[in-house]
């Protein structure tokens, strides 16, 4: 099994415009998806992220705030997934019912295993 980090991307405050009915559907569908994968042992972790965080960088000898992205796109959550290879990870990700809402993008990144370390 290989490990994958899935970055859930969206515009800022993605769910703000969903109606109560749509929010309930989201919990039921996406919640069910996460639960199933967790029970199958494929989902090691899945968490939403707060909207306000910090970006730090190093400039002119000191650590500074920023620079922040110009775009409105943010990472609003992540999945830590197990799959045999990238193809299977893609197939699993395609089953995420959140895609039906049309406001999400998911980036699938294999976690690099460096031999000899760990």
Partner 1 sequence: MTLYKNDSKKLTEHFFRNEYGKLVAVITQYIGSKNVETAEDIVQETLLKAVDHWQHSGIPKNPQAWLYTTAKNLTLNSINRKKHESNYLLNTLKKEHQLNPIEFSENLIMDGQLNMMFACCHPSISENSQIALILKILCGFSISEIANSFFTTNETINKRLVRGRKQLRKSNFDIRIIQNINDNVKIVLKTIYLLFNEGYYPSKKTTPFQYDLCLEAIRLTKLVIKSDHIKSKAECHALLALMYLNCSRFEARLDTADQTTIELPKQDRSLWNQDLIQLGIQQLQLATDENSVSKYLILATISAQHCIAKTYETTDWNSIVSLYDQLLSIENSPIIHLNKSVALSKTKGNKEAITQLLHLKTNSDIENHYLFHATLGELFKNEKQFKKAKSAYLKAINLTKNSRNIILLNKKINDLVPISKTQLL
Instruction: Give the footprint of partner 1 on this chain (CB under 8 A).
Output: 15-24, 26-36, 39, 46-48
The least CB distance from residue 62 to partner 1, in Å, is 33
Q: How many other CB atoms sit within 10 Å of the CB of residue 83?
A: 19
The least CB distance from residue 85 to partner 1, in Å, is 24
Question: In the chain, what's the furthest Cα-to-Cα distance?
Answer: 51
The least CB distance from residue 13 to partner 1, in Å, is 8
* Rounded distance between C-alpha atoms, residue 89 and residue 91, angstroms: 5
Q: Closer to partner 1 at the Cβ: 28 or 85? A: 28
Q: What angle do CA 96, 45, 101 make, to 5 degrees?
A: 25
Contact indicator for 42, 92 with CB cutoff of 8 Å = yes
Q: Closer to partner 1 at the Cβ: 4 or 33? A: 33
Q: Closer to partner 1 at the Cβ: 45 or 57? A: 45
């Amino acid at each position: 099994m290989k490990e994958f980090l899935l970055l859930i991307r969206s515009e800022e405050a993605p769910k703000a415009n969903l109606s109560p009915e749509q929010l309930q559907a989201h919990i039921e569908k996406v919640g069910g998806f996460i639960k199933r994968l967790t029970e199958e042992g494929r989902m090691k972790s899945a968490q939403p992220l707060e909207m306000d965080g910090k970006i730090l960088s190093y400039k002119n000898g000191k650590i500074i705030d920023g620079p922040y992205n110009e775009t409105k796109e943010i990472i609003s959550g992540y999945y830590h997934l197990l799959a045999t290879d990238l193809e299977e990870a893609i197939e699993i990700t395609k089953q995420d019912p959140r895609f039906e809402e049309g406001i999400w993008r998911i980036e699938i990144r294999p976690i690099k295993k460096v031999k000899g370390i760990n």
